[in-house]
Structure 1
Amino acid sequence: MYTLIINHLTREKRFALVKNNVVEKLFIQQPKQQSAISKIYLGIVEKVLPGMNAAFVDIGEEKSGYLHRDKMASFVQAEEDGAKSVSSYAHQGERLLVQVEKDAAGTKGPRLSGIIELQGNHLIYMPRGRYVAVSKKIEDSQEREKLRELGHEMKEPEEGLIFRTSSKGTQKEMLIAELEQHRLKYKEILQTASVVRKPGCVLERNSLIDEISEEIERLEINEIIVDDSAFKVELQKKFQCSIQLYSGKENIFSAYRLEHEIEKALKRIVWLENGAYLIFDEAEALTVIDVNTGKYSGIQDLSDTILKTNEWAAVEAARQIHLRDIGGMILIDFIDMKKEKDRQHIISLLEGELRKDERRTKVIGFTPLGILQLTRKKTKPALLESLTMKCPSCEGAGRVLSPESIAFRLERELWEHKGGDYEAVFIEATQDVQRTFSGEKNVHKERMEELLGLEIIFSGSDSLKPSYEIRQYGTSADLRKKLESN
């Protein structure tokens, strides 16, 4: 049974998935980094590249998107065998609807699909998808075949349908009604796109709600705890599970001891309970995890010590990969094992732990040098990339928390003093943190002052990295005198 703890009160939206007091997933969304996955755009083909069998599409964002021939609606509808070049299905200047499959990361733009998917409670509707599929979680073969036949009966030849797990046992009339809603929604999207002149988004999405929906669809969520009453009402309209409102003064993540898990997921070294540790080195397309015995010496022979350490490391490595949302190629340098059966045991253990992950993973095996290779589908930046930036004081050799992360941390700390007896608070902060916290024309600062009943007085800090320090609470007059004397 899982508990979902949601921090929605401040601008940085977060949730943690907890099972038996162990955090299994973290989701953090900052305003500037909201995922574009599943957003639908009107795009214009910029360049067709026969050599790559793909096209670059201007979607009105900073970077153009990448669209492979096999993901083009015209290719799917043609039902070709794949012999024709991309030039047969797209041309420069063509206007088309596309959906983001993978966020832009580093120097790469977003990856796109021309096969639009509209997600509902029981169905995923593809206006130009052509095929019918059933969730693999519906294991009953008769039920799967029944749904597949129903799908072909319901859809038009050019349409596609995917039956979600929740469709099992759902009445036919409800499924048909949902399909009609999807069709109306798609007509609205086409109408919007028809009047748009420039490339741009034609259908936004609430990625937080979508992520929560996926967790509820995927797992047995026992309860949801949220700190925002308005968001609680929104969740109750959509989901049937138990939802509780947290009303304590302390930030909900601090109250449930989750802040430590975020800090741990950003550290290079992760200690295991037995004294061994893992070292994470994350790059854009490759992550290396090094396993060390550390203080653990075992109680029997050396091979027993090595195997036990590698077992603990495999379990924690899988958990950290999920928590940190690491994607791409991953290399784990386990302590060298001489016996082939020990290596296969570690592979089986790791595969078992990775099955808990909703993202597609593939364990390839050990290299001749004894390094285990695996891949994990990457759709958005990892936690480290999202929450940190290149350190200006070390020219990128290390990382520090970004001004946004520090400003939102200050926001949460001030929330804990809501309704206090003080008139004002005196804070030393770097200019970048002050700007982020205050917002354009101090709109966020003034909003916080009104909500907290507390005047916020800033003083500059000479720190080389984004930081703040709450120096004093008191009367407005006394703290303004303090500001003038600095």
Structure 2
Amino acid sequence: METLIINYNSREKRFAYLKDNRVENIVFDRPEHRSLVGNIYFGTVTKVLPGMNAVFIDIGEEKNAYLHRDVLPSYLLSAEKQKSVTSFAHQGEKMLVQVDKDATGTKGARVTGIIEIQGPNLIYMPKGRYVAVSKKIAEEGQKAKLRRSGSRLKTEEEGIIFRTSSITSTEDEILAELMTLRENHQELLQKVATMKKPGIIFQKDTFIEMILDQVARMASGEVIVDDLALKKLAEEKNDQVKSIYYNGKENIFSVHKVEHEIDKALKRIVWLDNGAYLIFDETEALTIIDVNTGKFSGKTNYQDTVLKTNQLAAKEVVRQLRLRDIGGIVLIDFIDMTRSEDKQSIISLIETELTKDQKRTKMIGFTPLGILQLTRKKTKVTLSEALEVKCPVCDGTGRILSPETVGFRLERELLEHRNSEFEAVLVETTKEVKDELLGPNEAHRQALEELMHIKLYFSVQPSARHYYILKQFGNLSEISQKGFDS
């Protein structure tokens, strides 16, 4: 059974798609993290980089956007494709651009100069110069018919992509829609003419679109939503699915146990049903997934046990990629398989599971070290990036200096002050660092004080991060009054 649970009645919008009571996808929409993908901006070129064949564009957002030469309209219209980006764009140039990948980390958004304006059956590109058909239309005769129709209807500069729904539309309906999309483009140009500085001219409500796309794909089941207007939209989109309005006091995600699934999707370790587990390590460059047998030992020979564990892991990995919305390069370190047919079965299984994913994924294959490589299209931040911040204690590494390390550093710095004119020193630090410095039952205190010719006093403070500060040097009576343990 398919279930779509939509939490829309607060500032943070969310929906979760469940298949047979198992969460397959979770999507968040926050005002501060709202996706810019699909938005159209009026921008100004701030920097031209011949070495990268790209330009940076001020679009009125916090970070400048990145635009490659190959998606500049002037490049597409040119017959001289070997020329550098400097032949197609210059600093200070004004242009329309559309976001195709959100900003992540220190990088700004990636944009294209090939504007796409979507309709129910068409995607219209004023400077696209080609005709394409949705990959979901499999029948070659239908594809050829649509391509011929598109070539007749468009101008030389224009581009058209036929969406899946276009196969049920007549050519007159397609032409009428194309005329409407052309008018929409002219309205954008008129708006640009009134603008004096970079900024947004069209904002796409991608969240509502994603909800309605998910509703349209459901063959049966339920849509449970806490907003009446959205309930009506869902009913209009798919009358084969039952729409239910929820108005209880408890949050709709809590009632249906989705909050618990969100917490699990943020954990580093994911347990499998047979006692094996996965470890997820997300970095800025790539994501590494390690498969471990854990408690699973199997009842047959070792290679069969390995294959069974890897098969379970493969299914869960693809599900987790969707749940966590992980994109970019993904490396999966499966348990070593010696039989080539086992590796091929894992690849086939992952390819089958990937058909459930709406984002494009490219399978690269196994490396000589047995690590499976794939890439998944990345358009926005991952679930962990959206919901979590870098730990201020460990700076996102997951590790901090041990009290022993900090204790030895403190000892070395104290020894730099040996034989000074001061009688005592006040050190602010944690209990753990103090214990490492002085040893069990303060066994090292006397030797250290005699070596330094300075008495040690401590101000002990609780802290998740081990540290020390040499607060004050002075005479014995002054410092002794300030030292305390807390």
1:94-133 → structure 2 map (5 Å cutoff): 94-133=93-132
The DSSP-based 3-state class of the residue aligned with 2:149 is helix
**Alpha-carbon deviations, 1:228-255, whole Å to 9, x = none?**
1133345556665543212232211122
Residues 30 and 83 (structure 1 numbering): CA distance in 2 closer, same or farther, change over 3 Å? same
Contact (CA 8 Å) 1:306, 1:337: kept in 2 or not? Answer: yes
Do structure 1's residue 283 and structure 2's residue 283 form an aligned pair?
Answer: yes
Residues 88 and 214 (structure 1 numbering): CA distance in 2 closer, same or farther, change over 3 Å? farther
For 2:222 and 2:165, locate their aligned partners in 1 and report how far apart those are by CA, in whole Å.
19
**Alpha-carbon deviations, 1:95-127, whole Å to 9, x = none?**
000000000101111111000001111111111
- 2:296 corresponds to which residue? 296
- 2:391 corresponds to which residue? 391
1:434-449 → structure 2 map (5 Å cutoff): none
The DSSP-based 3-state class of the residue aligned with 1:315 is helix
Do structure 1's residue 357 and structure 2's residue 357 form an aligned pair?
Answer: yes
For 1:390 and 1:270, locate their aligned partners in 2 and report how far apart those are by CA, in whole Å.
21
**Alpha-carbon deviations, 1:326-345, whole Å to 9, x = none?**
01111111111111111111
- 1:188 corresponds to which residue? 187
For 2:234 and 2:227, locate their aligned partners in 1 and report how far apart those are by CA, in whole Å.
11
Contact (CA 8 Å) 1:4, 1:221: kept in 2 or not? Answer: no
- Percent identity of equivalent pairs: 57
Q: Which amino acid aligns with 1:392?
A: P
Report how far residue 363 of structure 1 moved: 1.7
- 1:378 corresponds to which residue? 378
For 1:344 and 1:363, locate their aligned partners in 2 and report how far apart those are by CA, in whole Å.
12
Report the aligned-residue RMSD.
Answer: 2.1
- 1:206 corresponds to which residue? 205
Instruction: Give the TM-score of the pair, scaled to structure 2.
Output: 0.79
Contact (CA 8 Å) 1:115, 1:129: kept in 2 or not? Answer: yes
Contact (CA 8 Å) 1:16, 1:27: kept in 2 or not? Answer: yes
Contact (CA 8 Å) 1:223, 1:241: kept in 2 or not? Answer: no
Q: Which sections of structure 2, spanning at least 5 residues, go unmatched? A: 400-461, 465-486
Instruction: Give the TM-score of the pair, scaled to structure 1.
Output: 0.79
The DSSP-based 3-state class of the residue aligned with 1:390 is coil
1:336-485 → structure 2 map (5 Å cutoff): 336-398=336-398
**Alpha-carbon deviations, 1:399-443, whole Å to 9, x = none?**
9xxxxxxxxxxxxxxxxxxxxxxxxxxxxxxxxxxxxxxxxxxxx
Q: Which amino acid aligns with 2:183?
A: L
**Alpha-carbon deviations, 1:344-401, whole Å to 9, x = none?**
11111112112221111122122222211111111111101110001224432349xx
- 1:246 corresponds to which residue? 246
Q: Which amino acid aligns with 1:267?
A: K
Residues 164 and 218 (structure 1 numbering): CA distance in 2 closer, same or farther, change over 3 Å? farther
Q: Which amino acid aligns with 2:49?
A: L
For 2:314 and 2:234, locate their aligned partners in 1 and report how far apart those are by CA, in whole Å.
36
Contact (CA 8 Å) 1:18, 1:24: kept in 2 or not? Answer: yes
For 2:127 and 2:220, locate their aligned partners in 1 and report how far apart those are by CA, in whole Å.
34
For 2:364 and 2:162, locate their aligned partners in 1 and report how far apart those are by CA, in whole Å.
30
**Alpha-carbon deviations, 1:5-24, whole Å to 9, x = none?**
21101111111112222221
For 1:299 and 1:141, locate their aligned partners in 2 and report how far apart those are by CA, in whole Å.
49
- 2:257 corresponds to which residue? 257
Q: Which sections of structure 1, spanning at least 5 residues, go unmatched? A: 400-461, 465-486
1:261-276 → structure 2 map (5 Å cutoff): 261-276=261-276
Contact (CA 8 Å) 2:223, 2:234: kept in 1 or not? Answer: no
1:31-70 → structure 2 map (5 Å cutoff): 31-70=31-70
Report how far residue 218 of structure 1 moved: 5.3
For 1:289 and 1:235, locate their aligned partners in 2 and report how far apart those are by CA, in whole Å.
37
Contact (CA 8 Å) 1:227, 1:246: kept in 2 or not? Answer: yes
- 1:315 corresponds to which residue? 315
Do structure 1's residue 92 and structure 2's residue 91 form an aligned pair?
Answer: yes
For 1:363 and 1:7, locate their aligned partners in 2 and report how far apart those are by CA, in whole Å.
34
Rg comparison, structure with higher value: 2
Contact (CA 8 Å) 2:215, 2:234: kept in 1 or not? Answer: no
For 2:221 and 2:114, locate their aligned partners in 1 and report how far apart those are by CA, in whole Å.
35
Residues 380 and 280 (structure 1 numbering): CA distance in 2 closer, same or farther, change over 3 Å? same
Contact (CA 8 Å) 1:165, 1:217: kept in 2 or not? Answer: no
For 1:371 and 1:35, locate their aligned partners in 2 and report how far apart those are by CA, in whole Å.
32
Q: Which amino acid aligns with 1:19?
A: K
For 1:314 and 1:332, locate their aligned partners in 2 and report how far apart those are by CA, in whole Å.
9
Higher mean C-alpha deviation, range 309-318 or range 17-26: 17-26
Higher mean C-alpha deviation, range 239-248 or range 374-383: 239-248
